[in-house]
Amino acid sequence: MSKLPGTKLSRRQLLQLGVTATAATLIAGGTEFVLPPEAHALGDPLPSWNDGPAKKAILDFIHVTTDKSSPKFVPPEQRIATFDQDGTLWVEHPMYSQVVYCFDRVPAVVKAKPQLANVEPFKTVLTGNREAIAKLPMDGLMKILVVTLTGMSVDAFEAQANDWLGAARDPRWKKLYTELTYQPMLEVLKHMRSSGYKTYIVTGGGQDFVRMYAERVYGIPPEQVVGTAAGTSFGYDKSGKPFLTKDPKLLLNDNNAGKPEGIHLMIGRQPFVAFGNSTGDRQMLDYTKAGSGERLAMLVLHDDAQREYAYGPAQGLPDTRVGTFTQALYNEAESKGWIVISIKSDWKRIFAFES
């Protein structure tokens, strides 16, 4: 980066770069401040989006809430944006990645507790028969979640999850699951942050699981991941070293009404922005829109069978275990001013690994 002629930055532009208010005043007030020309290669902050109402809604919202002269200006400390994960930030079909993780952990669990081998649902999971596994009843699924996600130390869980995240590949694209994130949404996250919004994940997925990769993959630090959370117990090992054990005690079921409840517990402010993709996000969107001033609520519709997946009753397609987008939700979006994102028509490309 050389000393080519650049552009002076105003205090507001500095704030948008993430400079604190005090620093921005000092910087903008005291110097001929120059941004090098490279920085202007920014251009369109949402290059993977086609022009259309969805892209326009995002850009307009950011403009009116960050422009100090706008009546809809939102002070930086109040700029909270919440994002569902499965089906909103990454692929959820045909099965939530974390559920795949739990199934993949079953052999190791059974090896440690051989008496489980002939007990359902473990017996079915060990067959590897995908169709039979997909039909397991909900209480069977819960048993698998409990034995694969709790009963070990936080450190042991993190090591196990980390190994899987670095190795397991999805059956369709043969990519690491963390590569199945939506490029258009990564651009939204980045643009929100560069506009002073604090981005949060608010997911039905396990909080500890998502925190393993959220910073690296989404740029979202662990403390900004709100998810379904179980309790832990603090204790000391024989050498006196403290550790936390993951308990099978549900503290927060971060779905449906649990989403605004989780936002209150973990953030304590009503969001200005919420993105989701299913009926499980309805309450979060309602809670977001109920705040005063300009608020943005958006829903991703999976309508692209060729490039990703198409599913959900809103399109006359069969309901699946994941991400239910009902006709009622679609109607609700229209009546409440939630904006529907069509993957097929709004997203120019879906994954970073495409061309």
- Residues forming contacts to a copy of itself in the complex (CB under 8 A) are 1-4, 6, 14, 17-20, 22-23, 25-27, 29-36, 38-39, 77, 80, 154, 198, 207-208, 211, 215, 221-223, 225, 229, 231-236, 241-242, 244, 251-252, 257-258, 260-261, 264-269, 283, 286-287, 290
Tokens 């275990």 correspond to 321
Rounded CA separation 286/293 (Å)? 14
Residue of 215, 193, 203 lying closest to 266 (CA atoms): 203
Nearer to a copy of itself, 96 or 287 (CB): 287
CB of 146 to a copy of itself, least distance (A): 18
Nearer to a copy of itself, 268 or 316 (CB): 268
CB of 278 to a copy of itself, least distance (A): 17
* Identity at 65, one-letter amino acid code: T
CB of 2 to a copy of itself, least distance (A): 8
Nearer to a copy of itself, 304 or 332 (CB): 332
Enumerate residues 6+ apart whose C-beta is below 8 A from 107.
Answer: 126
**Residues β-bridged to residue 236:** 242
CB of 332 to a copy of itself, least distance (A): 11
Q: Are 329 and 278 in contact (CB under 8 A)?
A: yes
* Identity at 134, one-letter amino acid code: A
Total length of the chain: 355
Nearer to a copy of itself, 37 or 128 (CB): 37
CB of 257 to a copy of itself, least distance (A): 4
CB of 46 to a copy of itself, least distance (A): 18
CB atoms within 10 A of CB 44: 12
Nearer to a copy of itself, 89 or 106 (CB): 89
Which two structure tokens, joined as six digits, stand for 220? 């979202």
Cis-peptide, bond into residue 94, ω within 30° of zero: yes
Environment class of 166 (CB within 10 Å of its CB; exposed 0-12, middle 13-18, buried 19+): exposed
Q: Are 205 and 228 in contact (CB under 8 A)?
A: yes
Q: Are 284 and 267 in contact (CB under 8 A)?
A: no
CB of 177 to a copy of itself, least distance (A): 20
Nearer to a copy of itself, 154 or 159 (CB): 154
Rounded CA separation 68/121 (Å)? 57
Nearer to a copy of itself, 65 or 122 (CB): 65
